[in-house]
Homo-oligomer: A and B are copies of this chain.
Amino acid sequence: MDTFNVTILGCSSATPAFGRNPTSQIVQIAGSYLLLDCGEATQIQLRKYSIKFQRIDHIFISHLHGDHFLGLPGLLSSMHLLGRKEPLHLYAEEGLKNILDTTHHYSRTTLQYPIIFHPLDMNKETEILRESKFTVRTLKMKHSIPCCGFLIEELPRPLRLIKEKIEEYSIPIVQMEAIKGGADFKTNNGKMIANNELTLPAIPARKYAYCADTIYNEEIIPSIENADLLYHEATFTEEMKERAKQTMHCTAKDAATIALKAKARKLIIGHFSARYKDLNPLLEEAKLVFPNTFLAEEGTKFEVDFKIPA
């Protein structure tokens, strides 16, 4: 079955603390490596967890606060120094291109591979990447500067043919694709067999929703509904609720409430404030609302599990 998992590279907000690095995650899906955010030292974390960073072809930056992109110039430079020639797609607010151009100008760097820059419009949710097996869409976040999340979703799978029925009706190979797509089948003697007698429901496409920095915002719920895996920022505990609002961040309870209302199947919380040495209070607070919650601990790989149909 196709790979679909998320490895946490950094889970700290704003400033690194207690050995925790700023935000970054790698999503492996159907042979592709997608990097979500790229805080300082992301390239060091990629090495630490033995993730081949030359396999990354798409980098998505949620917003231009430093803890989400300051690792990018170093990573791009290492890709260059280690011989990359393949194009790299970069999705971010337009200004990032200026930051990179200025940095490369003064460091007299000419990358030996093309960067294809996709400026993001943070005011609407749009599909920004469509591959043969998955798509990536932006999610509208509400933060102190323009910010988006990302929804990574498998394309719908075909219906599953029932082996015994293929034999029973001697279905020729050329017709199988149509049946997997929902067509009925006409036998040699002209009898119509309804599709639902020949097939089992498709295995549902999985989806991972990455909700980067945001204030508590129920407007995102329709877009992330039924996510198999949801990452949601949880910078503070409820004790710091006012501070969370002021800085346009969430508490662990906020994140769990969003997961509950969106009927997510599993929640990862991250982007922890440097005030927390021990992260358990955040986890416990979230679990009271949404028991299937996990901490975005660095190095942890989360599988995006299938919801097997009945």
Contact = CB atoms under 8 A, between A and B. Distances in A.
Interface in A71-118: 71, 73-74, 77-78, 81-82, 93, 95-96, 98-99, 102-103, 105-109
Contacts of A73: 66, 70
A77 B82 contact: no
Interface string A108-147: 1100000000000000000000000000000000001100
Given A67-B77, A70-B70, A96-B106, 11 more contacts: A14-B77, A15-B82, A16-B43, A16-B78, A19-B48, A40-B43, A41-B44, A64-B107, A66-B103, A70-B74, A99-B102
Contact of A78 (B15, B65, B108, B109): B15
B106 A95 contact: yes
Contacts of A74: 16, 22, 40, 66-67, 70
A93 B108 CA distance: 13
Given A81-B14, A98-B106, A102-B102, A44 B66 contact: no
A176 to B, nearest CB: 49
7 contacts: A14-B78, A16-B43, A40-B43, A40-B74, A66-B109, A70-B73, A102-B103
Interface string A270-295: 00000000000000000000000000
A21 interface: yes
Contact of A107 (B21, B22, B65, B78): B65
A245 to B, nearest CB: 18
Contacts of A103: 66, 99, 102-103
A47 interface: yes
A142 B293 CA distance: 55
A43 to B, nearest CB: 6
Interface in A9-53: 14-17, 19, 21-22, 40-41, 43-44, 47-48
B16 A47 contact: yes
Contacts of A40: 40-41, 43-44, 71, 74
Contacts of A22: 74
